[in-house]
Structure 1
Amino acid sequence: MRLEAISWERLTDALADRVTRTEAADGGPWPRVAVDGAPAAHGDALAQRLADALRLRGRSVLVVATAGFLRPASLRYEFGRQDVGAYYDGWTDVGALWREVFNPLDAGGSGRVLPDLWDPATDRATRSPYVPLPPGGVLVVHGPLLLGHWFPFDLTVHLRLSPAALARRTERDQQWTLPAFARYEAEVCPAESADVVVRADDPRHPAWNGGVTP
């Protein structure tokens, strides 16, 4: 894959322009965008930048973090607090994301999305109110290990870190998660399946594939 250097500002503008030209594959009025990447890649920052750029273009945007849809601690830590297999496919409540985020945005759906469900800090339900996303509004979902669940995204962005950069930029108390990302690379191949790939090894100098994979 050939990548070219780009600034975060130009990247954000290019993504926002692409989203404004993107229609939902199911014919509904709500385009759905994924920003996928390990926590060390800071996909939350790119998701927020993209949301701001889309709002400047007159689009309503709802940003949803998968961190707001973690399962209760009793389920996440059933096999220990540092179980790699559980982190890989058992921490995120995939069913809740389908039910509360994606299904309401199906063609003919209500457009009422739950922005978060569970607070991992308090290990309690957030009790957040539903948010109505008007027709033409854009859903931006960000989080790690996001691809491979068959979520109905219309545009997928993967923030790629080399194994060395991922290890270097991951907090010490989170180093145990690294095998999960190695498994993700092997099984999901996010750099091949995503529409847009952004290399973020050096956060000051990103590079991207321009949305086209040779």
Structure 2
Amino acid sequence: MQLEAITWQRMAERLAGHLDDRDTPSEQAVRQRVGIDGAPAADTGVLAGHLADALRERGRAALAVPAAGFLRPASLRFEFGREDVDAYLDGWYDTAALWREVFGPTDPGGSGRVLPDLWDPVTDRATRSPYAELPPDGVLIVHGPLLLGHWFPFDLAVHVRLSPGALARRTEPADRWTLPAFARYETETAPADRADVLVRADDPRHPAWTGLPG
């Protein structure tokens, strides 16, 4: 697999142009949905932020939604202990709420009223954030870990990959118990194969990518 060195800003501009090219005029505009998948150490919010900015510069409305805003309550996440790998893979993120509050409203004919986050893991309470209105020609950007194993309806999927060594180095010591979960995710879900775009970011200052899908 050949990778091309690129900056995050330039990558975002290329992705925004690709989304514009795919946004064919029609009587009923359809919202586009982008997934930026990667472990917390990959800091997917950086690319999501650059992409949202690049789209707005093109006159497109864009809304970035972090998966971390849809964690389940602590009583459910820690039901089998605070460092249970199976629970982290299958029970930490409220995928039903993401379908209901994020993907459903952005379906064709949907209301466009997207809840940007649901749960604050620090206070372990609902965020009570107001809904955001995404217009019919807007772009939804969902970013965070473990996104490509749930059949979310992304029009464009990006996987930001770290090598096992880089992932271990860049993961906070308190969170290194999650490393086996991401090893399993790589093996069982194969996110690099499911993604339209693969980014290598072992050194976050010098990412490289496979380029845009044909």
Question: So what's the TM-score if we normalise by structure 1?
Answer: 0.95
CA-CA distance at 1:28 after TM superposition: 5.7
Partners of 1:23 and 1:154 within 8 A in 2: no
Residue 126 of structure 1 is matched in structure 2 by 127
Kindly provide the CA deviation profile for residues 126-173 of structure 1, in whole angstroms up to 9, marking residues without a partner as x: 111111111111000001011110100000011010111111111111
Query: In the TM superposition, what are the counterparts of 1:59-208 in structure 2 within 5 Å?
Result: 59-208=60-209
Partners of 2:18 and 2:212 within 8 A in 1: no
Residue 11 of structure 1 is matched in structure 2 by 11
Partners of 1:6 and 1:208 within 8 A in 2: yes
Secondary structure of 2:158's counterpart equals strand
Paired with 1:29 and 1:96, the residues of 2 have a C-alpha distance of 22
Paired with 1:126 and 1:205, the residues of 2 have a C-alpha distance of 35
Q: What one-letter code is carried by the residue in structure 2 that aligns with 1:4?
A: E
Paired with 2:16 and 2:165, the residues of 1 have a C-alpha distance of 30
CA-CA distance at 1:33 after TM superposition: 0.3
Paired with 1:9 and 1:102, the residues of 2 have a C-alpha distance of 26
Partners of 2:158 and 2:195 within 8 A in 1: yes
Residue 38 of structure 1 is matched in structure 2 by 39
* Paired-residue identity, %: 69
Whether 1:49 aligns to 2:41 is no
Q: What one-letter code is carried by the residue in structure 2 that aligns with 1:70?
A: L
Q: What one-letter code is carried by the residue in structure 2 that aligns with 1:87?
A: Y
CA-CA distance at 1:122 after TM superposition: 0.7
Paired with 2:29 and 2:71, the residues of 1 have a C-alpha distance of 27
Q: What one-letter code is carried by the residue in structure 1 that aligns with 2:122?
A: A
Paired with 1:96 and 1:138, the residues of 2 have a C-alpha distance of 19
Q: What one-letter code is carried by the residue in structure 1 that aligns with 2:49?
A: Q
Q: What one-letter code is carried by the residue in structure 2 that aligns with 1:136?
A: D
Q: What one-letter code is carried by the residue in structure 2 that aligns with 1:19?
A: L
Gapped regions of structure 1 (runs ≥ 5): none
Q: What is the RMSD computed on CA atoms of the aligned residues? A: 1.4
When the two structures are aligned, how many residues end up with a matched partner?
Answer: 211
Runs of 4+ in 1 over 4 A off after TM superposition: none
Question: So what's the TM-score if we normalise by structure 2?
Answer: 0.95
Paired with 1:58 and 1:28, the residues of 2 have a C-alpha distance of 15
Task: Check 1:119–1:200 CA distance in 2 against 1; reply closer, same or farther (3 A cut).
Answer: same
